[in-house]
Every structure is written in C-alpha cells, then in structure tokens.
Structure 1
Amino acid sequence: MSLRFPTTLLALALLAGCATTQPQHAVVAPAPQAAAAVVRVPANDNLNAVAWSQTAIEHDLIYLQTYRDAQSRLLAAMRDPHWDALGKADRVAPFKGLKPAVILDIDETALDNSPYQARVVKGGGEFNEADWAAWCKEAQARALPGAVEFTQFAAAHGIAVIYISNRAKDLDEATLANLRQAGFPVSGPQAFLGLGTVVEDCEQAGTEKGCRRQLVARHYRVLMQFGDQIGDFVDVNANTADGRRKAVADYLPWIGTRWFVLPNPTYGSWEPALFNNDWSAPLEQRRQQKIDALRYQ
C-alpha cells in the first residue's frame, strides 16, 4: 500500500532535511548585560551651555580679557579720589578717606562650578539646594581664568578683596577654604558676605545683594565690581526683561570701567525672567515660554 502525504507536510519534511545539511546563520540576540550597558542620557536644556563653559577656549579668553583689562585700569582708579563703583542706592556713606576695595561675586565669577552643572545634566535633573550645598562643601571648584591674578594684584597694592555671594552664610568655612585653595587672597571671615548676612538698618529683599553692598560702603571706597548677574551690581526691582534693562540703564558708561560683567549661560535670574519667575511651573511649560521669547527676525 502506498502512503500519500499532504503537500504541506511534504514541503516541511524537505525543509527539515535541508536544514541538517546547510550551514546555519542564526541571529544572536545581545547578551542582557551588553544591553544594560547602553545608557541613555536624558535630554537637558543646559547641555550646550555647560559644554561651552567647560570646553570652549572662547570661554577662558573672555575671562582672561576681562580680568587683564580690569587690572590695567585698577591703579589709575585707586589714584582718582572721586572714583567709586557703587550705585547710588548702595553708596550710603561718604567714601572720602575710606580704604579701597574691589567686590567680586564668587560663583561663575571667581570659582568655576561647571562640574556641579555637569552632574545635573548627566543625572537629567534640575538644581536643588541639597546637592548644591554638598558640592560647595567639597571645596574643589577651580579658579576661573585671570581671577586669581587680578585679586592677588589688588591685594598686593593694598586693595581689599570682598566676596559677596548668594551662597548661604553657613557655607562660609567651605567657601573660604575653596577660595584659599584656589589661590585667592582672603583677609578673613569678614571677606565673605553670604546670603543671610545681617546688615543693621537694612532689610534684604530676597536674594538681592544691596544690603551687603551698603555694608561694604560703610568701610570702603569700591573701585570695581565683578559678577555674572546684574544683581551682582545693582538690585533688580522687577525681574523681567524690561525691568532688568532699566536696572542698568543709568550705569552703561560704567561697563568695562567700574563694572565688569562675565558670561554665564548655565543659570541666572535672566532665565526665570522668561517664564514669569515661576519655578513651580512644569518643565515643559517653562521650556515653551523660553521658546516663545525667542526672536526670529
């Protein structure tokens, strides 16, 4: 008796036979550990800004140019008895006969905190006070180009170097240690006026530095100021694009002579000015408002 196979079964049998004689080219799936090694970095709006701050030679040259130019003007400013770099609201005492000083902000003016910003980018998060304080306590921030040379030059010529920072006052020891380690002249604890410094007869508004500048005004004639935010030079009454322009309008002739402004694309009061200073808004909403603020012509 002959056996009859359905066509489909016969085809499958023939294929199975071929499979035993033909070389195999199996697709090998990646090992689980190899797949796990691929790390996807979350998108972060600050990536380019931090990368520029850390790697662009242009960044370093701007700092060198600024501090060298200031140094070339410093002694002439000291010899001019009418020279003072405090704004009208901050010059609360006559400066005649007072010792000369320069005022520097710390973060992104004297010390480079881009490693902290890089950690935030890599982690895909945003700034938070706990991580920031931990970074400050590491006391490992490097000096920005030209800053040490300028401040040492000032100190060598009898000019006090005062650091006004919005680092919290309780970070003073770590901050002073970091400044000293980086090579900055530090005359003592009084050289650091952090956020929370109590100034008699002056009520501080938020993080504005006006009261602390007024405290310096009682003891020094200020020759120059350095910062990466306009709030390092003058209090900003309305943190909007228009309000910020108005805050510095009367002092434009001082830029590059008494006030020296340094670049900071990574953070600052310029950013919340774009989304109504509302940090509680969702990230995507803040991002859209920043996009809406762009000009296309």
Structure 2
Amino acid sequence: MLKQISLAITAILLIGCTTNAQEQPVLPPHDVVAKDVVARQPGLMWVRRSSEYAIITARLYEEAKTDLDAITRQRGADQRPWVVVLDADETIFDNSQYQVEALQAGAKDFDPVAWRTWVKREEATAVPGVLSFLDHIRKRGGKLVIITNRDQNVTSHSRANLSALGFDADRADLCILGRGALDRKDANPKEWEAFGYGNDKDRRRRLIMEGKAEACWDWQAGDAREHYQASWAKPHEILMYVGDNIKDFPALTESIAEDPQAMQAVMANPHYVLLPNPVYGSWESRLKPAAALPSQP
C-alpha cells in the first residue's frame, strides 16, 4: 500500500511540476542555468532542485528494502543464489548535469557522442536512496546486476563511477551488463522470436537466470576471472527489478499504458520498484494520456 501511495504522490507532483514551472526557487551558484533551459525542461529542474524528488526516490528505496526483506524471508536456504536487477541511468546514476549541459549547448536531440563523453567523465551523482539500498542487498546476502542500455564497451566507466560514489564496485557479487549487438532485435531476430523477448533487456535477464552472462566475468583475467566466473556461471533467481522505465521490467513496453489492469499489476507487485523520471523515457513516444487506473477499494 505504501508503494502505491508513493506512486500516486509521484504522479501528482509531476503534474504540479509542469504547471508551476515559472515558480523557481533561488538557485545555488553551481546550478545557474538560462531561463530558456528551465522553460524547456521543467521536469529536469524538478529533479535537480526539488525536495519532493529526493523524498520520493529515497522513500521508494526504503520501501524496497522492506519488500526485499519480506521476499527473502520466504525463500529456503537451499535455493539458487539470488540477485536484484537494476537499471543504471536515473535509477542508480543521476545524469541531470549531462542534461543541463546538453541543453545549454543547444542540443535538440540525443547525441550519442556527447553521451559517451559524459559517461567517460564518470561524474554522475547518485539517485537519492540508492546507495543505501545497494548496501542492503549485500547485507541480505544478495548479488547485484546492473542491466543498462549504456554500450557494453563503456562498462569500465560505469564501474568507476560507482566507485567514485563510494560503492565497492570491484567485488564478484556485482555484474554490469551493457547493451551489445545481440541484445537488439534487428541483429538477433531468431533468438527474439524463440524466447519471446518483449524488450532488449530481456535477453540479458535470461542470461543471468541461466548462468550464461559471460560479460559478468570476461572483463577479468587470471585468478580473478576464475573467481568471477565461479560466482556467475550458475543459474540465479531474480527477486526484484528496479528501474525508471517500464522496459526495466520483464517483457513490458510502453503499450502497458493502454491496459489499466496491467498497470495496476505493476503497482501491486513487490518485486517491481518504479522510480519517477520526468526528463526522458519511452513515454515520450506516446501521443495520448495513459488509461485511467481502476479505483481502489
């Protein structure tokens, strides 16, 4: 119930953020941006400046700890090793500084070269509440998988950015899976059809569950490689999915917005943690409002 309340509050605040974009607080020196940037991206400024965003994400991560505790208590000790799968950007990493710089530079569309440069800077900050949640997963005996649409050849920079945030990213209980060519439907149509993938993160989720995600260990060498391989070359159970986009959940796409019952099922599922992202996402391609959710009893 608390998670449902938090999600409802998020929706209300996002609407308020858009309609009251003119009411800007006094800016700290490091966050002075042109008025046209504020006007073009009120959602971005809400993420950077508001107390509400920090409260909502921290609250959701605290609730995720409680849900994870309940889920793990129901498991037997002899079951498969378990993991929590998280998205990277706007779930772990706050890239709002990149967004501000892109707007100030006059960018109108996503620039993959500028994005790669940003990732290599390793300067993303942490989404409020996430570092405590990552530590909690480890304390509960779980492992962490980051499935990201960052290209797989910049994974070392994602790992270094985590380390810069104070999180020990060089342990064998952490696997980062960036997007590779075979994850895309156009490059791997037969596998997509055979396994019924709904989105291009489904393949990597399957590899984790089957113990076949070689990228979890092939970045190491020698004894370290053997150590990492021993950790990941076995089937794992995914207990929780965390993300800021509906595609961060298995087989789902933005079409869920047409199905009130499907949206309600996501709301009620303790294995799913959905964070607000008013800056960008697959929602941008939608041309009409989401269907109304059924009224709660």
- Give the TM bin, normalised by the shorter chain: 0.5 to 0.7
Question: 1:87 maps to which residue?
Answer: none
Q: Which of 81, 84, 88 is the matching residue for 1:106?
A: 88
Runs of 5+ in structure 1 lacking a partner? Answer: 1-38, 83-95, 275-292
Measure how far apart 1:119 and its partner are. 1.1
Q: Which of 188, 208, 211 is the matching residue for 2:203?
A: 211
Q: Is the 8 A contact 2:198 2:253 kept in 1?
A: no
CA distance, structure 2, for counterparts of residue 212 and residue 203 of structure 1:
12
Q: Is the 8 A contact 2:61 2:130 kept in 1?
A: yes
Specify the code of the residue in structure 2 equivalent to 1:193.
L
Specify the code of the residue in structure 1 equivalent to 2:90.
E
Q: Does 1:223 align with 2:207?
A: no
Aligned ranges 1:83-122 → 2 under 5 Å: 97-122=79-104
C-alpha deviations, 1:69-116, integer Å up to 9, x for none? 11123222112138xxxxxxxxxxxxx821011111010001100001
Runs of 5+ in structure 2 lacking a partner? Answer: 1-32, 211-234, 291-297
Q: Is the 8 A contact 2:137 2:144 kept in 1?
A: yes
Measure how far apart 1:40 and its partner are. 7.3
Q: Does 1:52 align with 2:46?
A: yes
Q: Is the 8 A contact 2:48 2:96 kept in 1?
A: yes
Q: Is the 8 A contact 1:208 1:236 kept in 2?
A: no
- Cα distance 1:105–1:294, how it changes in 2: closer, same or farther (>3 A)? closer
Larger radius of gyration: 1
Specify the code of the residue in structure 1 equivalent to 2:153.
D
Question: 1:145 maps to which residue?
Answer: 128
Q: Secondary structure at the match of 1:62?
A: helix
CA distance, structure 2, for counterparts of residue 51 and residue 231 of structure 1:
24
Specify the code of the residue in structure 2 equivalent to 1:118.
V
Question: 1:123 maps to which residue?
Answer: 105
Q: Secondary structure at the match of 1:222?
A: strand
Measure how far apart 1:247 and its partner are. 6.1
CA distance, structure 2, for counterparts of residue 45 and residue 67 of structure 1:
30
CA distance, structure 2, for counterparts of residue 76 and residue 208 of structure 1:
30
Q: Does 1:173 align with 2:156?
A: yes
Aligned ranges 1:1-297 → 2 under 5 Å: 46-81=40-75, 97-126=79-108, 127-186=110-169, 187-188=171-172, 191-196=175-180, 198=182, 202-203=191-192, 208-218=200-210, 219-236=235-252, 239=255, 241-242=257-258, 248=263, 250-254=265-269, 257-274=270-287, 293=288
Q: Over aligned residue pairs, what C-alpha RMSD do you find?
A: 3.1
Specify the code of the residue in structure 1 equivalent to 2:272.
W
Q: Is the 8 A contact 2:177 2:204 kept in 1?
A: yes
TM-score, reference length from structure 1:
0.66
More helix by share: 2
Q: Is the 8 A contact 1:228 1:262 kept in 2?
A: yes
- Cα distance 1:74–1:241, how it changes in 2: closer, same or farther (>3 A)? closer
Q: Is the 8 A contact 1:241 1:273 kept in 2?
A: no
Q: Secondary structure at the match of 2:84?
A: strand
C-alpha deviations, 1:241-292, integer Å up to 9, x for none? 427x6765654420xx110100001000000133xxxxxxxxxxxxxxxxxx
TM-score, reference length from structure 2:
0.66
Q: Is the 8 A contact 1:64 1:145 kept in 2?
A: yes
Q: Secondary structure at the match of 1:184?
A: coil
